[in-house]
Amino acid sequence: MSQSPPSLQGSLFTLLTLKVPYDFQESLPGYLEQHIGTNPQFFVGQGVVLDIDEATTLRSGSQVTHLVGILRHYKLFPIGTVGGTPEQQQLFRGQNMPSVGAAQSNRKPVESASGQRAATRTKIVSTPVRGGTQVYAQGADLVVLSSVGAGAEVIADGNIHVYGTLRGRALAGAMGDGAARIFCRSLEAELVSVAGNYITADQIDGAYQQQMVQIHLEGERLIIDKI
């Protein structure tokens, strides 16, 4: 039986990013209980990247241990950090969590010289996106001419358009573009997200289920409007 040799390859994985707040020891447990404790089926076993840019009170190894313990209580697995100071990054490396890049939470859409949002490329998928499949439109809008099945995931750095039923997960503005939107002919999604702000199926008002809608961001709140 022939065997393939070891190889290093680039791959795309979807990871949660958690912004660690200034008062994380007090506020984070309550936040996780509200957003994850009530929806464990979506998050158990997920890898998490920690955005520590605002966690300026995090200055010791014991605080890192405490933070990791909070996350693991909710079955989340922190795997690295973005942002923070070199000293903070060293604390996390002591727990085998590397720095994976600069924080992206403050990125803005690219604008042209006229001040208008620059046109993006478009990735078009003409067949159904079936469960267990992930489609990513890097640096582009994503247009799905059919439906997105339960358990599937569609991701775009720009907008997402689904001309059929949207089940599964849809994550627009994946690199922090708060102006991105999600459009679909029939909303039955497990999770929708714009620029890292998300809601799950049980948080979507029944008035919008199986309706043609658009989803956009106002501040840090997702808004769903019928079309």
Q: CA quadruple 60, 100, 95, 48: dihedral positive or negative?
A: positive
Find residue 223's DSSP bridge partners: 216
What single-letter amino acid sits at 203? Q
DSSP track, 104-149: -TT----B-TTSSBPP-EEEEE-S-B-TT-EEEETTEEEEESS-B-
Please tell me the predicted confidence (pLDDT) of residue 144: 96
- Mean pLDDT per segment of 10 residues, for the chain of length 227 residues? 63 72 88 72 76 90 91 88 89 87 47 44 93 87 95 92 95 87 96 88 90 92 93
Torsion of CA 102, 103, 106, 109, to 10 degrees: 60
Domains parsed from the chain with CATH numbers? 16-101 (3.30.70.260), 121-226 (2.160.20.70)
The answer for 77, left when phi > 0, alpha when psi is -120 to 50, beta otherwise, is beta
Please tell me the predicted confidence (pLDDT) of residue 4: 67
Give the span between the Cα atoms of 23 and 95, in whole angstroms.
Answer: 21
Please tell me the predicted confidence (pLDDT) of residue 33: 83
